[in-house]
Amino acid sequence: MRKARVIAFYLPQFHPIPENDENWGKGFTEWTNVANAKPLWRGHHQPRIPKDLGFYDLRLQETRIAQAEMARDAGVEGFMYWHYWFGEGRMLLEKPAEWVLADGKPDLPICFGWANHEWSTATWTKGVKNKERKMIAEMKYLGTEDNKLHFDYCLPFFKDNRYITVEGKPLFIIYDPKGFKGLREFMDEWRNLAKENGLKGIYFVGLWVSDADSFANMMNLGFDGLIRSGRQTAEERMAPNKFITRLKRSMAERLNMCTLVFDYSKIMSKMHFEENRIENCYPLICPGYDCTSRRGKKARIYKDPTPQAFQGHVHQTLEYIKDKDFEHKLIFLDSWNEWGEGNYMEPDTKWGHSYLDALKSEILY
C-alpha cells in the first residue's frame, strides 16, 4: 500500500540519436558529460558514477525493465517520460516510450510531460556562448492541424492500460505554460479529440514555477491541476535582495568561482507551499541538484544533500497531501534519472540504494 501516487520525471536521453551524433560526436549521450565532470572544491561529489545499472543504454529492454522494478520497489507509481514534439511531426528522444508501448514491457505505468522548449547546442553542454549557439529543433506552435497530428501520435499511448490517469483521464503535463502560444485552444481541441476517441478527456497539469504567478492565475490558463515546481521560488526566497545577489555572482564570476551554490536542506525547507493542500495542486520532491557536468563553474548546485535530508523532505511533503482523496494524492519526483543535473534516484557509487530506501520508508505502509 502506498501513501501517495509518486510520479517520477524520466529523461529518455540515454541512447544515441543522429542529432546528438552530429552536434557532439558519434555515440554521444549525457553519460559523456557525467563521466567527465570535475569536482569544483574538495569533497564535491563529482563525477557521479552509476552503480547497479551502470552507464546504461535505453535501447536495451533489460535496462528499462530493471529501472521499472527498482522504481516500483521504492513506491513509485510510474514514470513521466519527457516528450519532445516540435511541430510538423518532428520529435526527439521518442524511441524509448515507443519501445515500451510496442513491447508491452515493462508494466510500470507511464505518462507524458511535453517539454515544450527549443533544442540548441546549449541543451546538454557547458560553455556555449550565445553567438555559438546552434538551433537544433525550434519549438513551433502551429495550431489545429498540428494539434491533431500530435494527438493522433499520443492516442495509442493514452489507450494503453499502463497510461497514468487522473479522474479516469490520461494525465498530460505541460512544462512551460507561459511560453505556450495557443495553450487554451490546444487543450480544448485535445479534450474534444479525446472524447471523440472514446476517452473521458485529458487531465492537463501545468508546471507552476514562481511566486510571480498565483494559483488562480495559472489555473485560469485552463488546467485541471498544477505542479508547484518550487526550485525557482525557493532560490528566490533564499536570496530576496536581487541587487546583492547579482553583485555576489558578478564577483564570483570574476574570481572564477561557483556562482549558484545553495544548501540542499535550506532549499528543500522552502519548497513546502500551503497551496499544496489544495486538492489539485501537487507538490514536487527533489533528491538533489548539481548540473556541474553540463555547466562547469556556472552550475546550479545544491550542496550537501543526503538520503536522510531527502527523507525528511518527503515526510514533510506527505503532511500537505494527507487529507486529499487518494486519486489526487499526487507527488511528482524530480527526477528519476537526470544524471547530468545531479538529480536522480538511481543508485550511484556513493549512496547506493539509500535514496530509494528513504523514499520507500516514507511512501509504503
> If we measure between CA atoms, which residue out of 74, 87, 95 comes closest to residue 180?
87
Reduced to 3 states (helix: H, G, I; strand: E, B; else coil), residue 16 is: coil
What nine digits make up the cell of 106? 515493462
Query: Which band of pLDDT confidence, cut at 50, 70 and 90, is reported for residue 260?
Result: confident
The predicted model gives 239-246 an average pLDDT of 62
Q: Among the listed ranges 30-39, 117-126, 232-241, which one has the minimum average pLDDT value? A: 232-241
Q: Among the listed ranges 173-177, 236-240, 298-302, 355-359, which one has the minimum average pLDDT value? A: 236-240
Degrees (nearest 5) of the Cα angle 115, 327, 337? Answer: 35
Query: Which band of pLDDT confidence, cut at 50, 70 and 90, is reported for residue 298?
Result: confident
At residue 125, the pLDDT reads: 62
Strands 110-114 and 76-87: parallel
Report the helix count and the strand count for the chain, using DSSP H and E.
13, 16
At residue 237, the pLDDT reads: 73
Sequence-ordered list of residues with C-beta below 8 angstroms from that of 161, at least 6 positions apart, any chain:
none
Model confidence at 36: pLDDT above 70: yes
Q: Please give the helix or strand (H or E) that residue 236 lies within, else none.
A: helix 231-238
The predicted model gives 293-309 an average pLDDT of 92
At residue 210, the pLDDT reads: 84
- Average pLDDT over all residues of the chain: 92
At residue 256, the pLDDT reads: 63
Sequence-ordered list of residues with C-beta below 8 angstroms from that of 128, at least 6 positions apart, any chain:
120, 121, 122
Q: Please give the helix or strand (H or E) that residue 355 lies within, else none.
A: helix 354-363
Q: How far apart are the first and last CA of the chain?
A: 6
**Which CATH number fits the domain 5-233+265-294+306-363, given the four candidates 3.40.50.740, 3.30.1330.10, 3.30.470.20, 3.20.20.80?**
3.20.20.80
At residue 230, the pLDDT reads: 75
- Whether the link from the prior residue into 47 is cis, omega within 30° of 0, is yes
Please indicate whether residue 233 or residue 87 has the higher confidence score (pLDDT). Answer: 87
- Whether 173 contacts 206, CB under 8 Å: yes
User: How many angstroms separate the Cα of 215 from the Cα of each of 5, 211, 212, 229?
Assistant: 22, 9, 10, 12
> If we measure between CA atoms, which residue out of 322, 260, 315 comes closest to residue 291?
260
Query: Which band of pLDDT confidence, cut at 50, 70 and 90, is reported for residue 321?
Result: very high
Domain boundaries, the chain: 5-233+265-294+306-363
For the segment 151-198, what is each residue's pLDDT rounded down to a tens digit?
999 999 999 999 999 999 999 999 999 999 999 999 999 999 999 999
Sequence-ordered list of residues with C-beta below 8 angstroms from that of 85, at least 6 positions apart, any chain:
91, 114, 116, 150, 153
At residue 136, the pLDDT reads: 93
Model confidence at 238: pLDDT above 80: no
Please indicate whether residue 169 or residue 41 has the higher confidence score (pLDDT). Answer: 169
For the segment 91-147, what is each residue's pLDDT rounded down to a tens digit?
999 999 999 999 999 999 999 999 999 998 876 665 444 446 789 999 999 999 999
pTM of the model: 0.94
Please indicate whether residue 247 or residue 271 has the higher confidence score (pLDDT). Answer: 271
The predicted model gives 68-80 an average pLDDT of 98
At residue 130, the pLDDT reads: 46
- Whether 208 contacts 218, CB under 8 Å: yes
The predicted model gives 208-232 an average pLDDT of 91
